Structure 1
Amino acid sequence: MRNILLAVFLAIGSGQAAAADGDAAAGEKVFKKCAACHAVEEGKKKVGPTMFGIWGRPAGAVEGYKYSSAMQEAEFSWDEEQLTGFLAAPKKHLPGTKMAFPGLKKEQQISDLLAYLKTLN
């Protein structure tokens, strides 16, 4: 019985990992929706902060960028869970954010964008 449970757990876990994997090249194309407001170069700000180095960065931490109070008070770092929630529905995930983008509705686009953002560290 224990071996069966272990096999089920491993099968479920590997399926989730595969679903979470995205295509960075496809994510770079998805990023075009973000590029009007966000740069990918280190230190470059537009309407929004740079996405360079976002993976693992504390929320509201780009020096010199004027964040909303909600982002300044957020107590998390950008990881897969936080970015997935924020990219899907920014205002729902972090009420009070000044990000105007309504969010990405397709899970694959989010997965691909996450894969691309990982390359920017």
Structure 2
Amino acid sequence: MTLRSSLTLAVLIAGLAVPAFADGDAEKGEKVFNKCKACHMVGPDAKNRVGPELTDVIDRPIGSVEGFKYSDAFMEKNAEGFVWTTENLHSYLADPKGFIPGNKMSFAGLKKPEEVDDVIAYLQTFQ
């Protein structure tokens, strides 16, 4: 194998190792996340508030943050093996009560799909 083909292979492998990000804009998502900050924190020093901290939320099982008391609806989903994929987060953030009836989140949801995409992109920066 030549040096050139070795470098090409290394670049391709490195590209595969980068996590896929939502179609949204993380910078815009940080601003939209201001709507969430009253109840949620995200980042290295995040703690539970009225809602659980959201660091590493992508692909995390629902209802799994230690020390947070979840609704029965979330715990039932946890028992079913529900995971916060980007698709599930998108549906939930758009309509929390409709997507998981009986949950405790009082937020009505983000009505603009691009805002949902942006918030998910922002959350992905904390994976």
Bigger Rg, structure 1 or 2:
2
Deviations 1:62-121 (A, max 9, x none): 011000001011131111111011000000000110000000000110010110011111
Residue number in structure 1 paired with 2:30: 28
1:102 counterpart = 2:108: yes
CA RMSD, aligned part only? 1.1
- Give distance in 2, aligned partners of 1:97 and 1:79: 18
The alignment partner of 1:67 has SS state of coil
Residue number in structure 2 paired with 1:39: 41
- Give distance in 2, aligned partners of 1:25 and 1:45: 23
In structure 2, runs of 5+ residues without a counterpart are 1-21
- Across the two proteins, how many residue pairs are aligned to each other? 102
2:54 to 51, 58, 61: 51
- Give distance in 1, aligned partners of 2:112 and 2:62: 24
The alignment partner of 1:113 has SS state of helix
In structure 1, runs of 5+ residues without a counterpart are 1-19
**TM-score normalized by the length of structure 2:** 0.77
